Amino acid sequence: MQVGIAVAAIAVLVGAGWLVVREREARYRPDLGPGERLGLDVSHYQGVIDWQRVANDGISFAYIKATEAGDWVDDTFARNWEGARAAGLEVGAYHFFTLCRTGGDQAANFLRTVPPDADLPPAVDLEFPMNCSARPEPAALRTELAVFLDTVEQATGRTALLYVEDEFDEVYGVLDAFPQPTWERSLRTRPSDSRWVIWQASDTARVDGVNGGVDLNLMSTRCC
């Protein structure tokens, strides 16, 4: 019985330690240099957001998921766009690039969904999780991505940002092939290269007005 009590006590301590770590991660905010700002990226996964509370919690910009593939539109995009703007945040939109549709189809979907007066440049999300099962040849993928980028950049007059998962880039060599500035994921460690203009510093941040953890980003003075 004493052994059982000891095991139970250890389990409680381990559990408490895990909760402390999670709480520390949730409260993490990177130190800001001169002119740097904090922002969020959100989609329908965050549900209903109280954007005024977000703004009051030190957040000044938001990237909002707009589209995916050639016809899918995030059903919270319009509400989040209007709410974030009304709360005084700068807003930008991002597109999840699927491997199963042409770059032209995807660009058309993005451009007919996103208002033309965005404060921030468009962004494209390139990763395997939640993508379709197709795996085109690298040259074919880069051709379709070039069509998407050229179409969106000509229509908006802004250079798009690239958010590229490491495994995706290993397969498709996107970062070497395209000179666009990057939105870099590097949890709790400031990126060391000079190409990034937005840094995703946490994916479990606690921000007032958002239910659950949310992606926390830092904007460089090089943006945007």
Q: Does 127 qualify as catalytic in the annotation?
A: yes
Q: Which of 66-70, 190-194, 202-206 has the lowest mean pLDDT?
A: 190-194
- Kindly indicate the confidence band of residue 50, based on its pLDDT and cuts at 50, 70 and 90: very high
Predicted confidence at residue 26, as pLDDT, reads 73
Catalytic residue among 41, 68, 125, 215, which? 41
Structure tokens at 28: 């993490």
Asked if the model's pLDDT at residue 177 lies above 50, the reply is yes
Alpha-carbon gap, residue 195 to 189, rounded angstroms: 15
Catalytic residue among 25, 127, 153, 169, which? 127
Structure tokens at 218: 């830092």
- N residues, the chain: 224
Under CATH, which architecture does the 31-219 domain have? Answer: Alpha-Beta Barrel (3.20)
For the whole model, what pTM was predicted?
Answer: 0.88
pLDDT, tens digit, for every residue of 23-38? Answer: 667 789 999 999 999 9
Q: Does 137 qualify as catalytic in the annotation?
A: no
- Kindly indicate the confidence band of residue 5, based on its pLDDT and cuts at 50, 70 and 90: low
Q: Average pLDDT of 155-162? A: 98
Pick from 141, 155, 145, 150: which is nearest to 112 by CA? 155
- Kindly indicate the confidence band of residue 20, based on its pLDDT and cuts at 50, 70 and 90: very low
Asked if the model's pLDDT at residue 17 lies above 80, the reply is no
